[in-house]
Amino acid sequence: MATLEKIKVEISVVLGGQTMPIHQLLRMGRGAVIELDHSADDDVDILANNLPVAKGQVVLKGDRVTVSITEVLARPASYRRLDDVVKI
């Protein structure tokens, strides 16, 4: 377990996305607002090392933004299990 505690995982939360022409992006300045393809009530995607692992809801706690996990996603069969890894 001590070895596992040293492994770092990058966690990202995706609120939504948007596609726009580059010229529109270049014209944006400070204070510009980009409308996302999700509503405020939609679940957000939670990624671990850029792989989807869960869904959640954004929760405001005082001046902090947190995410409450609502669903843990099933791991695809293509992910290798620990016992599939050959030790060298």
Looking up residue 54, the CATH number of its domain turns out to be 2.30.330.10
Establish if 87 belongs to a structural domain: no
Report the relative pairing of strands 11-14 and 64-72 from DSSP bridges.
unpaired
pTM of the model: 0.73
Total of domains in the chain: 1
45-57 confidence digits (pLDDT tens): 999 999 999 999 9
In percent, the amount of the chain with pLDDT more than 70 equals: 89
Establish if 84 belongs to a structural domain: no
CA torsion 18-24-29-34 (nearest 10°) is: -20
Establish if 11 belongs to a structural domain: yes
